[in-house]
A and B are shown apart, each in its own frame.
Chain A
Amino acid sequence: MNHDMRATLSGKRVLVVDDEWLIALDVQDIIEGLGCSVMGPVASASAALELISTDPPDCAVLDVHILNGTSEPIAAALQKRGCPFVVVTAYQRSHLTGALCDAPMLIKPIDERELERTLAGLVR
């Protein structure tokens, strides 16, 4: 692992949003392995928005289609606070709407090294 990246990511707080709990668990373990701490994982926009308003993260990993809708409102709230995020989806970019559009995007299944590079780029 690249030492600069590790130093950048160490101690950062990452919000994880995914309604497929097995995948959320996987993402959580990957991110904790990078020396970050995970907020959540949460499966719905309402749970994520509550976390963001009380305790904003350093960055976030957002699945697009989640419980009761999409991550669009979460992306909008993060954008307003200047908090960077990466979108993880099984869809193409053309399916992304609103605040999700311009964010870095990873296609499922997640590649650990790609996730690491992207997160390091977000919080640098």
Chain B
Amino acid sequence: MTASEPQKAHEQLRRQREVLADFGLFAFRCDDMDGLLHRATELVSEALGVPLVKVLEHRPERGEMLVRSGVNWQEGVVGRETFGDHEKSPGGYALKADGPVVSPDLDLEDRFETPDVLRRHGVMSMVNVVIAGEDAAFGVLEVDARERRDFGDDEVAFLRTYANLLAAAIERLRTHDELRRSVREQGLLARELGHRVRNVLGLVRALASRTSAEGRTAEEFRAAFIERLHALSVAEGLVFASTDERVDPEVLAREVLAPYRQDGPARLVIDGVSVRLSARQARMFGLALHELATNAMKHGALGVPDGSVRLDWHIEDAEETQRRLSMTWQEANGPEITPPERKGFGTRLLEDVVAHELNGEAELDYARRGLTYRLRFQLEGDQT
């Protein structure tokens, strides 16, 4: 050993400590992942006096490790070159080893194979350390020397500290990104909610102004309006409660028709398959059921002791893309009925609004033996 060697070693240690401090501060202030990783490889290269340094990002879903960042590599390597994440690649081996892997002479290395791109760059020895992550490792920090070189304990310790500092900085940036995204989403959601509230208020206004006040006392008007509002709010409530804004008509029918089934379910039988209605379809379906039930109570089968109603629906010709729902409301054993003289809001809703909104057909048949209402409309979106 020459006299200058301890001095050189001392100088190198001092330099490594400086690099750690510099990088720590840089990482703390940096808010760009690519900038962070690039600076990381630059400083490691400088501190160890090794030109080729890279960060491999593990992409488990693709079974590969991408050269995410690096210094002094030929064009086309950084951001492009990938290695398998299996044990036969240096990076994959480091991930599994879960500790620093030193390879002082790649010609003698038998734990993994040397990728062509490293041979092309004349790499003879290497040391790899894992960059940890919150759930799984982010990847591997690789230092590649062009000469045979035994990386000493101090150098390996430096790299481990460095990689851990880098891991913390990466995690911090990821959390920042997630927070930023979530703040953006919150803002969008709040605005979307604002539109929805305004739309629902528009519907409430329409229900209030279309509920006839003619020939009614204020109390009767209030009752009629509040019942319609109830049907709308049941449907709206179910839309809000579901995670995908879809509503099962059976749940909806049971809730809207509950006041008419207090004498037992036989009075108003509900029999239908489980499907998924969109928000708009659910609102219209709920309003239609309410109009039918309140009408049956006043003029039809639900107004007499022996009368009954059967509500059923099924899917017509179950072709994958064009599935239509066919619903029937059939009253039986009620009083003799006659068509109303003028078309009130209830009739308009059942015949025009519901059919239009659902892009389907509605048919209201005032047969003497009991009213029949048929509704056919196309189901929207995925039904599975």
Chain A residues at the B interface, C-beta cutoff of 8 Å: 20-23, 25-26, 29-30, 43, 90-91, 107-110, 112
Q: How many of chain B's residues have a CB under 8 angstroms from any CB in A?
A: 22
Once bound together, how far apart are the Cα atoms of A30 and B205, in whole Å?
A: 12
Contact, CB under 8 Å: B356 / A107: no
Q: A20-B357, A109-B204, A110-B205 are in contact. Are A25 and B210 (CB under 8 A)?
A: yes
A43-B353 Cα distance, complex, nearest whole Å: 12
Docked pose: A20 CA to B353 CA in angstroms: 9
Q: Which of B195, B207, B348, B349 has the most CB of A within 10 A?
A: B195
Question: Which A residues lie within 8 Å of B199 (CB)?
Answer: 20, 90, 108
Quick check: is B201 within 8 A (CB to CB) of the other chain?
A: yes
A22 pairs with B201, CB closer than 8 A: no
Interface residues of B (CB under 8 A from A): 194-196, 198-199, 201-207, 209-210, 280, 287, 348-349, 352-353, 356-357
B197 — nearest CB in chain A belongs to which residue?
A90
Question: Which B residue's beta carbon lies closest to that of A88?
Answer: B202
User: Do A22 and B209 touch (CB < 8 A)?
Assistant: no
Q: Are B198 and A108 within 8 A (Cβ)?
A: yes
Minimum Cβ distance to chain A for residue B171 (Å) = 37
Cβ–Cβ contact B356 & A21, under 8 A: yes
Residue from B196, B198, B205, B352 within 8 A of A26 (CB atoms):
B205
18 contacts between A and B (CB under 8 A): A20-B357, A22-B210, A22-B287, A23-B203, A25-B348, A26-B206, A26-B210, A29-B210, A30-B209, A43-B356, A90-B195, A90-B199, A108-B202, A109-B201, A109-B205, A110-B202, A110-B205, A112-B209
Of all A-B residue pairs in the complex, the 6 with the closest CB atoms, nearest first, are A90-B198, A26-B206, A109-B205, A109-B202, A108-B202, A109-B201
Closest B residue to A22 by CB, please name it.
B206
Name, among A22, A25, A26, A91, the residue most crowded by chain B CB atoms within 10 Å (CB to CB).
A22
Cβ–Cβ contact A25 & B353, under 8 A:
yes
The complex places the Cα of A107 from the Cα of B356 at a distance, in Å, of 24
**Given the known A-B contacts A26-B209, A90-B195, are A21 and B202 also in contact in the complex, defined by CB atoms under 8 Å?**
no
Separation in Å of the B36 CB from the closest CB of chain A? Answer: 36
Contact B203 A22 (CB under 8 A): yes
CB distance from B205 to the nearest CB of A (A): 4
Q: B361: shortest Cβ distance to chain A, in Å?
A: 14
Beyond A22-B206, A90-B199, A109-B204, 10 additional contacts (C-beta under 8 Å) are A25-B210, A25-B348, A25-B353, A26-B209, A29-B210, A90-B202, A108-B198, A109-B201, A110-B202, A112-B209
In the bound complex, residues from chain A placing their C-beta under 8 Å from that of B194 are 90
Taking a contact as CB atoms under 8 Å apart, the answer to whether A23 and B356 are in contact is no
- Cα(A30)–Cα(B206), bound, Å: 10
A107 cross-chain contacts in B, Cβ below 8 A: 198
What is the minimal beta-carbon distance from A88 to any residue of chain B, in angstroms? 9
Closest to B349 in A: A22
* A residues near B287, Cβ cutoff 8 Å: 22
Q: Tell me, in angstroms, the Cα distance from A90 to B205 when the chains sit together.
A: 14
User: For residue B349, which residues in chain A have a CB less than 8 angstroms away from its CB?
Assistant: 22
| Docked CA distance A30–B202 (Å) | 13
Q: A21-B352, A43-B356, A109-B204 are in contact. Are A29 and B209 (CB under 8 A)?
A: yes
Known pairs A20-B357, A43-B356, A90-B195; A25 contacts B206 (CB<8 A): yes
